[in-house]
Amino acid sequence: MRRLSWFNLTSLTLGLAFLYLPMVILVIYSFNGGKLVTVWAGFSTKWYGALFHDKAFLKAAWITLKVAVISSTVATLLGTMAALVLVRAGRFFGRTLFSGMIYAPLVMPDVITGLALLLLFIAIGLDRGVFTIILAHITFSMCFVSVVVASRLQSFDRSLEEAALDLGCTPLDAFRSVTLPIIAPAVISGWLLAFTLSLDDLVISSFTSGPSSTTLPIKIFSAVRLGVNPEINALSTIMIAIVSTGVITASLLSKRSIARRAREEQEAFAS
């Protein structure tokens, strides 16, 4: 059994403290009674109350959720198709361009993507609003989905599909009954990734939104640009809580299923 040296233990502790302390402070101060964020004035949940009465925030939250659900679902579909093309389609005309267009948005600065999409929407005379935000979000998040799914597809054992064909499946049938269930975890994490990217996006949304389609990040950004805002602290705490519950539950579930699988394999060997 390896033990951690004091050096490794220190760097891990300091590193995790650095990653988590700011968020912990944010959460603590969301329960601060006073308006000044840096002075503790007793425990209170009044900012949560204020948040739920703020119509503009609620509307922005609703738009953001709508955009995220639709865009991540479409992006997962298109992204999975793109992953299949990347891994399976072999050679075709413009393949290099295609893989370039998949990988480039991953590292493209948001300001450039946002500007480019806006100019496109203006050029084709599309009114800016929820629809244009959704189009923009699908475009960048489908690339993330396809990278996640492609890496799973790469390690996929083709002989499983061949076995399905051998046993009488049509290619589509084989894909649906064998390939899809096996790559499903990657497709799901691709969807989750697309969903959080969409929830989180400020810059591209700012470029592609119209006056009536303000999303939550745009709202947050204009509220905090000038200073600290206790209502935003409350909102952040809610978002952090939702995300951490989701991520921790997902990882516990996958850990459980891995453990169960290991146990079952062990039992199978023992019997």
Query: What residues between 48 and 87 interact with other proteins by CB under 8 A?
Result: 78-79, 81-82, 84-85
**Nearest approach, Cβ of 105 to other proteins (angstroms)?**
6
Q: Which H or E run includes 81?
A: helix 55-88
Binding to other proteins (CB under 8 A): which residues in 31-50?
Answer: 36-39
- Select the residue interacting with other proteins from 53, 55, 96, 109 (CB under 8 A): 109
Minimum CB separation from other proteins for residue 217, in Å? 5
What whole-number distance in Å separates Cα of residue 33 and Cα of residue 43?
Answer: 6
Give me the long-range contacts of 17-25 (CB less than 8 A, separation at least 24). Answer: 23/240
User: Which stretch in 45-53, 65-73, 100-108, 260-268 sits in contact with other proteins by CB under 8 A?
Assistant: 100-108
| Cα separation of the two ends of the chain | 29
Q: How far is CA 262 from CA 154, 155, 210, 265, in A?
A: 24, 20, 52, 5
Name the one range near other proteins by CB under 8 A: 160-168, 178-186, 229-237, 262-270: 229-237
What are the structure tokens assigned to 225, written together?
A: 């640009």
Please pick, from the candidates 35, 46, 158, 255, the single residue that binds other proteins as defined by CB under 8 A.
255
46-53 vs 55-88: helix axis angle to the nearest 10? 80
> Which element (helix H / strand E) includes 147?
helix 130-154
Cβ atoms 136, 210 nearer than 8 A: no
Q: Does 131 bind other proteins (CB under 8 A)?
A: no
Q: Which of residues 132-191 bind other proteins (CB under 8 A)?
A: 135-136, 138-139, 142, 146, 154, 171-172
Question: Biggest alpha carbon distance in the chain?
Answer: 71
Q: Are 38 and 100 in contact (CB under 8 A)?
A: no
Q: How far apart are CA 138 and CA 190, in angstroms?
A: 12
Ranges within 2-31 binding other proteins (CB under 8 A): 2-5, 7-9, 11-12, 15-16, 18-20, 22-23, 25-26, 29
Compute the least distance from the CB of residue 129 to other proteins, in Å: 16
Q: How far is the CB of 182 from other proteins (least distance, A)?
A: 18
Query: Least distance from C-beta 36 to other proteins, angstroms?
Result: 8
Per CB under 8 A, 222 contacts other proteins:
no
Residue 248 binding other proteins, by CB under 8 A:
yes
